[in-house]
Amino acid sequence: MTSPLENLETQLETFIENVRQIKIIVTDFQGQGQNVFNQKIQTIVTGLQEIDRLKSQVQDVHVPLEVFDYIDDGRNPQLYTKDCMEKALSRNEAVRGKIDAYRRFRAQLLVELTNVFPAEMAKYRAIRGDERPIS
Amino acid sequence: RGYSSAISKKSKLILYNSTVIRIVGSSVIGGSFWGGINQADFPVVDSTGTLKATISLGKNPSIVTAGPFYLVKERPTDTELTGATNLMAHYGLEHSYNKSSGKRVRDTLSSFLPLLPGYIDSPGHMDGSSLRLVIDKPPVGGKELLPLNSLQMTGFRLHSGPLPEQLRSMYLSPQKKKHKKHKHKHKAGDTPSHQESSAAELAAAAEKKHKKQKRHDDDKERKKRKKEKKKKKQKHSPEHPSSAGGSSQILNPSLGLMKTILE
């Protein structure tokens, strides 16, 4: 059983093919082609009706607007997916680096504060119930 | 910094920058203040000299123990998922990422949609076919799609014969936007909204073709003239077959001239 997206894709391709055939007929039109041409026009209308009917099946499909920018520039939309994943990965690594930096800073700060204010830091650790090691 | 300390047995007040905030705690030694902490448990040794206290005043002044440290807040609860975890692994996307990064993805739209006819790699804003335009200016919809009746179909009766050149070239090459306007005879079925843009494109295509044709004609003429000149030169040269009666043909008249001089 084909998915709704595949159905829609097939229908769109059929529609585009139909339009292409009309273009060929019109480019060098002959009198006897009028009936075929009329038939093709009616097929366009039924194609549009079919596409309109299929839209309800893909209501839950959400497309990010940035993909449209890729398509408008004539670029492959799969590049958007690739760029998204790479961006997510690099952001993840950047945040991990920040968290690590803050952790090391906290450890270092506790060490230095303990050296300078031993009593206060003892109280602080007692209040915090800090079980984590300083370094 | 300007703070004053008042030492009394039971309650102590420290003003920081002459602002009274809140009263806390029991005893002060040397400007430092510990609220809510038993002195016997913790030796009160002031090593900072700048610890602040808080005072709450009003109808019912109350002593609020805020702890020994200024601005100490509750620690936020540790969450399982932070930026420090590998989110790709967490959401099970590693395989998808490896697959997508390993696969070589071509840059053009036509590589994604190979079955679509025509030239689709051109930017959409050039021929008014961008998706962004559909979002910003959505087309009129919501009307029922009905098949055309026979009366409406009469509007699609076409004349026999090929399309004019300017209309034909619309489908062959990518269009560049130009600002010339030109009147054209349109076939029935063209919508008025497309006429202006298509007219500009037709004019551009027509001019391009005209220029090409002109260039081609000019080239032809130039070649003709060159040939005639050559023939004339060859006629007058002594090595010409008609004058010398020889069978060999001298292709380069200047060479022929040199030969005669040397002889």
What pLDDT digit, counting tens, does each position of B1-46 carry? 333 344 333 344 443 333 333 333 434 333 334 444 443 344 333 4
Q: How far apart are CA B195 and CA B187, in angstroms?
A: 11
Residue A50 tokens, joined: 């079919």
Q: Do A13 and A44 reside in the same domain of the chain?
A: yes
> CB–CB of B161 and A29 under 8 A?
yes
Mean pLDDT value across residues B233-237: 64
Quote the DSSP letter at residue B221.
H
**Count of the separate structural domains present in chain A:** 2
User: Cα(B121)–Cα(A40) distance, rounded to whole angstroms?
Assistant: 27
The Cα of A1 is separated from the nearest Cα of chain B by a number of Å equal to: 22
Q: What is the mean pLDDT of residues B50-59?
A: 57
CA distances from A85 to A22, A64, B57, B93, B176 (A): 42, 14, 57, 9, 35
| A-B contacts at Cβ under 8 angstroms | 135
Q: Is the pLDDT of residue B186 over 90?
A: no
A39-45, Cβ contacts within 8 angstroms, sequence gap of 24 or more: A41/B148, A41/B153, A41/B156, A42/B147, A42/B148, A43/A18, A44/A15, A44/A18, A44/A19, A45/B145, A45/B146, A45/B147, A45/B148
Q: Is A36 on the interface with B (CB under 8 A)?
A: no
List of chain A residues whose C-beta atoms are within 8 Å of the C-beta of residue B73 = none
Is the same domain home to A29 and A88?
no
Structure tokens belonging to residue A17: 């093919």
Report the 10 Å Cβ neighbour count for B237: 19
In this prediction, residue B169 carries a pLDDT of: 65
pTM beyond cutoff 0.95:
no
> In angstroms, rounded to a whole number, what is the distance separating the alpha carbons of residues B98 and A82?
10
Whether B125 sits inside 8 A of A127 (CB atoms) is: no
For residues A119 and B42, the answer to whether their CB atoms sit within 8 Å is yes
Residue at which a domain ends, from A23, A40, A62: A62
How many angstroms separate the CA of residue B184 from the nearest CA in chain A?
Answer: 16
Half-sphere exposure (Cβ direction) of B28: Cα atoms closer than 13 Å? 23
pLDDT (tens digit per residue) in B79-90:
888 888 888 889
Contacts of A49 in chain B (CB under 8 A): 145
Give pLDDT, residue B29: 38
**Chain B residues with beta carbon closer than 8 angstroms to that of A89:** 88, 97
State the DSSP string of B158-185: --SEEPPHHHHGGGTS-----------P
Asked if residue A92 and residue A55 are part of one domain, the reply reads no
Q: Which of A45, A62, A79 is the last residue of a domain?
A: A62
Q: Which domain holds residue A18?
A: 1-62
pLDDT score recorded for residue B144: 87
Q: Are residues A69 and A58 in the same domain?
A: no
Tally Cβ neighbours within 10 Å of residue B26.
18
Q: How far apart are CA A135 and CA A108, in angstroms?
A: 7
- Look at phi and psi of residue B161 and say left if phi exceeds 0, alpha if psi is from -120 to 50, else beta: left
Of B69-73, B80-84, B129-133, B148-152, the poorest mean pLDDT is in B69-73
Which band of pLDDT confidence, cut at 50, 70 and 90, is reported for residue A127? confident
Residue B211, pLDDT score:
62
Instruction: Place B232 in a pLDDT band, splitting at 50, 70 and 90.
Output: confident
Residues comprising chain A, all counted: 135
Three-state DSSP state, A28: strand
Is the separation of the CB atoms in A22 and A44 below 8 Å?
yes
- Beta-bridge partners for B29: B32
User: Which two tokens mark B199?
Assistant: 């007219």
| pLDDT score, position B49 | 37
Shared-domain flag, residues A22 and A56? yes
Query: Residue B110 phi/psi, 5° resolution?
Result: -70, -25
pLDDT reported for residue B15: 37
Is residue B106 classed as helix, strand or coil in its secondary structure? coil
Question: What is the structure's pLDDT at B123?
Answer: 86
- Quote the pLDDT of residue A91: 94
Cβ separation B123–A95 shorter than 8 A = no
Mean pLDDT, residues B242-251 taken together: 41
Nearest to A124 among B69, B122, B157 (CB): B69
Q: Would you call A71 and B124 a contact, using CB atoms and an 8 Å cutoff?
A: yes
Average pLDDT, chain B: 64
pLDDT over 70 at B183, yes or no: no
> ipTM score of the complex?
0.72
pLDDT range class, residue B208, cuts 50, 70, 90: low
Question: Is A78's CB within 8 Å of B147's CB?
Answer: no
Chain B environment of A45 (Cβ under 8 Å): 145-148
**Predicted local distance difference test score (pLDDT) of residue B19:** 37
| A-interface mutation test, from B38, B48, B113, most A Cβ less than 10 A away | B113
Q: Is A23 within 8 Å of chain B by CB?
A: yes
pLDDT (average), residues B72-100: 84
pLDDT value, residue B37: 42
Q: What is the pLDDT of residue A87?
A: 92
**For range B135-148, the mean pLDDT:** 86
The proportion of chain B whose per-residue pLDDT surpasses 70, expressed as a percent, equals 45
Cβ of A27 and B105 within 8 Å? no
Instruction: Tell me, yes or no, whether A57 and A4 share the same domain.
Output: yes
Report CB contact under 8 Å: B83, A77: no
What is the Cα gyration radius of chain B? 47
Bridge partners of B56? B62
> A91 and A135 share a domain?
yes
Put residue B212 in one of left, alpha, beta given phi > 0 → left and psi -120 to 50 → alpha.
alpha
Based on the domain organization, do A46 and A36 belong to the same domain?
Answer: yes
A35 and A89 in a single domain? The answer is: no
> What pLDDT, on the 0 to 100 scale, is given for residue B117?
85
pLDDT at A2: 77
Q: Do A45 and B101 touch (CB under 8 A)?
A: no
The answer on A126 and A68 residing in a single domain is yes
- Chain A partners of B116 at a C-beta cutoff of 8 Å? 13, 16
Q: Do A52 and A109 lie in a common domain?
A: no
pLDDT of res. A54: 93
CB A55 within 8 A of CB A68: no
List, in sequence order, every beta strand (DSSP E) within A1-135.
28-29
Instruction: Select from A37, A74, A99 the Cβ nearest to the Cβ of B121.
Output: A74
Which residue did the predictor score with more confidence, B55 or A69? A69
| Interchain contact, B47 vs A119, CB within 8 Å | yes
Beta-sheet strands, E only, within chain B:
3-6, 13-16, 27-29, 32-34, 161-162
CB within 8 Å: B158 and A85: no
pLDDT classification of B125: cutoffs 50, 70, 90: confident
**pLDDT for the residue B50:** 37
For residue A15, pLDDT beyond 70: yes
Task: Name the pLDDT band for A110 (thresholds 50, 70, 90).
Answer: very high
Pick from A99, A107, A65, A61: nearest CA to B87: A99
On whether both A124 and A76 belong to a single domain, the answer is yes
Residues whose CB falls within 8 Å of the CB of residue B218, separated by 6 or more in sequence, listed in order: none
In this complex, is the C-beta atom of A73 within 8 Å of any C-beta atom belonging to chain B? yes
Question: Which of A62, A89, A111 is the endpoint of a domain?
Answer: A62
pLDDT in tens, A50-70: 999 998 999 999 999 999 999
